[in-house]
Structure 1
């Protein structure tokens, strides 16, 4: 069977997505894809979610930060961005989602938007709430480990 001519094939757009969560959070591709489908179905309904057709093409996540490339149909990027904005947690872990850009190919998406090196992460001990605690420092943001998990702080909170 011959492939379809180029002018008849489906056109795709690729969204570069940056993810951020607490340092001890573990999220995998399958959980992110599932939450993406649920968010699309809740926001757009069955017909709308099938029209947008969101698929996670690439996914990396470690030490509380990562990125993904999400494929959507051409002309549906606004709906895809809206669905990504609805994601508040993945696998019952809070997560921040940011779309850094949209491209026509996976390669261009990687080179333009995901080509930068990940943020430097530093583990250190800090004085917080009258006690010495361990913390993870990323680009001026500090995640201080407490009994229940983590608390977000800034350098000024530690002075």
Structure 2
């Protein structure tokens, strides 16, 4: 079977997405892809989600942070951003997504938005809820380990 001529091939844009969860969350590419499809279908409907054609081409998640690269048809990036904003949990784990940028090629997307310096995570002891607790800090944000879960906090909560 012959390839389509260049002027008939679909044009793609790549969205670099930063993923943030609790430290003990375990996310996989398949579960993330499923949630992206559900969000697109619920927000845009069947015709709109088919037009956007959201596909997760790269996914990495470890210790509460990660990234994803989502492929979308050219001209549908606004609809794709709106659909990604509707994703609030993956496999029951709360998740925060932020689109870092848009690129015309996968390589440029990875070089410009994904491979940059990431925030380092520091472990420290903090006083939270009148008790000394272990916390993992990234910049001004911290995840404080309570008896049974994590609690999100900022530096102002520790003063």
TM-score by length of 1: 0.96
CA distance in 2, matches of 1:60, 1:126: 29
Give the 3-state SS of the residue equivalent to 1:61 in structure 2: strand
Deviation of the 1:64 alpha carbon: 0.5
Equivalence for 1:30: 30
Residue correspondences, number: 159
Question: CA offsets, 1:58-81, max 9 Å, x none?
Answer: 000011011000001111111100
Deviation of the 1:126 alpha carbon: 1.4
CA distance in 1, matches of 2:119, 2:134: 19
Give the 3-state SS of the residue equivalent to 2:119 in structure 1: coil
Which stretches of structure 1, 4 residues or more, deviate above 6 A after TM superposition? none
Equivalence for 2:63: 63
Deviation of the 1:6 alpha carbon: 0.8
Equivalence for 1:130: 130
Equivalence for 2:148: 148
Q: Which runs of 5+ in 2 are unaligned?
A: none
Give the 3-state SS of the residue equivalent to 1:49 in structure 2: helix
Give the 3-state SS of the residue equivalent to 1:35 in structure 2: helix
Deviation of the 1:125 alpha carbon: 1.7
Equivalence for 1:121: 121
Give the 3-state SS of the residue equivalent to 1:95 in structure 2: strand
Task: Please tell me the root mean square deviation across aligned C-alpha atoms, in Å.
Answer: 1.0
CA distance in 1, matches of 2:25, 2:117: 20
